[in-house]
Amino acid sequence: DFVREVDPDIIIGYNICKFDLPYLIE
């Protein structure tokens, strides 16, 4: 799994960028 290969902190940061940015725009 991609999540297992990548540092969990990076996944968390990616999720923050992915979900928070569209939320702030709207």
Instruction: Name residues of the chain where pLDDT drops below 70.
Output: 1-4, 6, 8-26
pLDDT given at position 20: 63
User: What string of DSSP letters covers 1-26?
Assistant: -HHHHS-HHHHHHHHHHHHHHHHHH-
pLDDT given at position 15: 66
Contact 3, 11 (CB under 8 A): yes
pLDDT given at position 8: 67
CA–CA separation, 1 and 24 (whole Å)? 30
Half-sphere exposure of 20 (CA within 13 A, CB side): 6
Q: Angle 23-9-4 (CA atoms, 0-180°, nearest 5)?
A: 110
